[in-house]
Amino acid sequence: MINNQIKTFEEYQQAYKRSVEDPEGFWSDIASTFTWHKKWNTTLEWNFEEPNVKWFKGGKLNITENCLDRHLKTRGNKLALIWEPNDPKERFVRYTYRELHEKVCQFANVLKKNGVQKGDRVCIYMPMIPELAFAVLACARIGAIHSVIFAGFSAVSMADRINDAGAKMVLTSDGLNRGSKQIPVKRVVDEALQTCPSVEKVIVVERLGWAVNMVEGRDVWYHDEVKDVSKECPAEEMDAEDMLFILYTSGSTGKPKGVVHTCGGYMVYAQYTFMNVFQYEESDVYWCTADIGWITGHTYLLYGPLLSGATTLMFEGVPTYPDMGRFWQICDKFGVSIFYTAPTAIRSLMSGDIDNVLSYSLDSLKVLGSVGEPINEEAWHWYHTHVGKERCPLVDTWWQTETAGIMISSLANVTPIKPAHAAFPLPGIQPILVDAEGKEITENEVEGYLCMKFPWPGIIRTTYGDHERCRLSYFSTYKGLYFTGDGAKRDENGLYRIIGRVDDVINVSGHRFGTAEIEDAINHNVHVVESAVVGFPHDIKGQGIYAFVICKEKPEREDYLRAEIIETVVEKIGKIAKPDKIQIVSGLPKTRSGKIMRRILRKVAEGDTSNLGDTSTLLDPEVVDEIKAGAL
Ligand code: WTA
């Protein structure tokens, strides 16, 4: 069995020391515990200039054999996946490792039958139903590259991602359940595909039983296709550095970029971090509430747990339906022992009646986790006290789509925990703080820009179709370093606290958006001349979206215009990127060279206009008074 688990603080210190002194030996030992068709020739080859990072070069494997086949002998009848539907009255479904293996093989055969081959890109736009998990693993089984798009994105966003990846197929469903609402999904796909010439086939999974438009020759129902396929599908042999998946994420400029992860390194890093951070034990029931459309769902709902032979729970619904006790009811129902969620969910549940938590026993819980954004101390304590009953270690896990897995976090019951601190780096991770010039800050009790000086197996390999963009986004700001885009503090004992993004990325309820991306959407509205978007502190979402908008003419009804602008953003990106506040202005604070001074807009959005700093270099200083006076 693969374990790779550190059990004591001393072991952590030893592992950390070794991982720095002999990174290749360290990771090579861990990688050796997996199933490979052929062992690698070179453990690591790297430079951060191009960048070029290759782990386990020459190694041959298939990640799904490590997720499924290798467990069949010892855990064939153990539960692999528990699926809980949106509506508590609908029955849950459970799959043992043997059953999941069959489902994945069948789905893989359906893909093959419909023309998918190794290296093809397959776009998955599906709700949180078991078929989504089968679909992801089925792609990996046959060496197709999956690109999962969160099913809340708009048709325009989907089309951009499909075209960027040149996807050949889309996997989707008729519709989805979200709390009390039912949402048509296939309709969004149809709209997107009007501008996606690369897509040849669409496979539709039935969830709601709705009649949907099926394009002849292009669209097929999954339940028809699966009828006569075999339950066995040999796994395609992949090179360690072959692409496993693309996942689009926002940066500070331009359209979302396709972050690329590869088979070998991703596998090793997902399993190692899962086992160690959560200290998973064989009888645990593990639940990560993230959607598979985000990296957290990829690594810690699917791959990490399955690679470790764990029982992982997948939930279709939302934390507030049918009431605010839904998460806790599910924990009791399945005896969840490890629970991993986002601060935004905690903050939203905190605002409800405490009885929503207190009416459940939560006795099965052992470990709690937090991910996606900084967790404020109030939320940390509420979660620790009322959910964890002060008995469960609460690990604050810092990482990114680009890092594939957790980078800085306490290891439950092993390393120290401090509220609202991600604490220590995992073995193999070498963070440093630098100042604005890129000079390393070596002392403690400091604040700086968070970078990494050495590669780990899960590091981003490239941005799909545009390697230079990868270099510019992550490896060019500070020479020889991977720049995270986050600012961080290090306390007197060397524990890290992440402050948040220092670039033009806003983190709304744990979802990343580039300000440029939202501005671009707003500017599509016919009435809009120009806009500037900044984040502001929001009680539940962490950050909210504040838009300053210049219009062609002064609108008669500002409320109508606001509604229209919101509509435009929903159409271009999706509901999740709706601005919270829209202020109509006659000008923006610009320097003489035409650059918007976002610093000033951020202060206004934060409601702190007492000290706006130096505004003397502005082209038109009066505009600041107008903006201040009209602040929302
Ligand atoms: C933020 C999500 C503070 C951070 C896994 C990072 C966090 C961005 C934490 C990545 C945390 C994530 N504490 N901030 N524990 N976890 N972040 O790519 O700003 O969706 O750069 O990955 O979320 O977001 P992404």
* Interatomic CA distance for residues 614 and 621, integer angstroms: 10
3-state secondary structure of 390: coil
What is the Rg, in whole angstroms, of the alpha carbon atoms belonging to the chain?
24
The phi, psi pair for 298, rounded to 5°, reads -60, -55
pLDDT category, 479, cuts 50, 70, 90?
Answer: very high
Binding site membership of 257 for ligand 1 (Cβ less than 6 Å): no
Identify which of 373, 377, 396 to mutate to test ligand 1's pocket (most ligand atoms within 8 A of the CB): 373
The DSSP call for residue 423 is B
Q: Which helix (H) or strand (E) holds 63?
A: helix 63-64
Pair 116, 236: CB distance under 8 Å = no
The DSSP call for residue 372 is S
Is residue 614 pLDDT above 90, yes or no? no
Nearest CA to ligand 1 atom 1: 373
The predicted-structure confidence for 104-162, as pLDDT tens digits, reads as follows: 999 999 999 999 999 999 999 999 999 999 999 999 999 999 999 999 999 999 999 99
* Interatomic CA distance for residues 286 and 310, integer angstroms: 7
Quote the longest CA-to-CA distance of the chain: 74
State residue 612's pLDDT score: 81
Give 541 Cα–ligand 1 centroid separation in angstroms: 13
3-state secondary structure of 19: helix
Give 373 Cα–ligand 1 centroid separation in angstroms: 5
Binding site membership of 500 for ligand 1 (Cβ less than 6 Å): yes
Give 610 Cα–ligand 1 centroid separation in angstroms: 30
Binding site membership of 291 for ligand 1 (Cβ less than 6 Å): no
Residues 20-38, buried b or exposed e (16+ Cβ, 10 A)?
A: eeebeebbbebbeebebee
Binding site membership of 400 for ligand 1 (Cβ less than 6 Å): yes
State residue 1's pLDDT score: 45
Distances (CA, A) of 405 to 135, 237, 461: 21, 24, 14
Binding site membership of 373 for ligand 1 (Cβ less than 6 Å): yes
Give 469 Cα–ligand 1 centroid separation in angstroms: 20
Identify which of 396, 498, 499, 541 to mutate to test ligand 1's pocket (most ligand atoms within 8 A of the CB): 498
pLDDT category, 555, cuts 50, 70, 90?
Answer: confident
What are the structure tokens assigned to 167, written together? Answer: 């996807």
Share the mean pLDDT of the chain.
96
Q: What is the pTM of this model?
A: 0.96
Mean pLDDT of 343-347: 96
Three-state SS sequence of 490-552: ECCCCCEEEEEECCCEEEECCEEEEHHHHHHHHHCCCCEEEEEEEEEEECCCEEEEEEEEEEC
Nearest CA to ligand 1 atom 15: 398
State residue 361's pLDDT score: 98
* Interatomic CA distance for residues 315 and 377, integer angstroms: 27
The predicted-structure confidence for 357-412, as pLDDT tens digits, reads as follows: 999 999 999 999 999 999 999 999 999 999 999 999 999 999 999 999 999 999 99
The phi-psi region of residue 413 (left if phi > 0; otherwise alpha if psi is between -120 and 50; otherwise beta) is: left
Nearest CA to ligand 1 atom 13: 374
Give 374 Cα–ligand 1 centroid separation in angstroms: 7
Is residue 617 pLDDT above 90, yes or no? no
Pair 521, 572: CB distance under 8 Å = yes
Nearest CA to ligand 1 atom 10: 400
User: Which residues neighbour 486 within 8 Å (Cβ) at sequence distance 6 or greater?
Assistant: 398, 449, 450, 498, 499, 500, 501, 502
Pair 125, 188: CB distance under 8 Å = yes
Give 399 Cα–ligand 1 centroid separation in angstroms: 5
Regarding an ipTM greater than 0.95, the answer is: yes
State residue 4's pLDDT score: 87
* Interatomic CA distance for residues 350 and 629, integer angstroms: 33
The predicted-structure confidence for 47-80, as pLDDT tens digits, reads as follows: 999 999 999 999 999 999 999 999 999 999 999 9
Give 397 Cα–ligand 1 centroid separation in angstroms: 8
What are the structure tokens assigned to 93, written together? Answer: 């479904």
Distances (CA, A) of 494 to 362, 418, 433, 445, 489: 33, 12, 11, 8, 9
Residue 215: CB atoms within 10 A of its CB come to: 11
State residue 554's pLDDT score: 86
Angle between helices 155-165 and 558-572 (to 10 degrees): 30
3-state secondary structure of 418: coil
Give 457 Cα–ligand 1 centroid separation in angstroms: 19
Q: Which helix (H) or strand (E) holds 489?
A: strand 482-490
99-103, 232-236, 514-518: segment of lowest average pLDDT = 514-518
The predicted-structure confidence for 303-336, as pLDDT tens digits, reads as follows: 999 999 999 999 999 999 999 999 999 999 999 9
Is residue 254 pLDDT above 90, yes or no? no
pLDDT category, 216, cuts 50, 70, 90?
Answer: very high
Sheet containing 431-434: which strands, arranged edge to edge? Answer: 440-441, 431-434, 446-452, 482-490, 496-501
The DSSP call for residue 401 is G
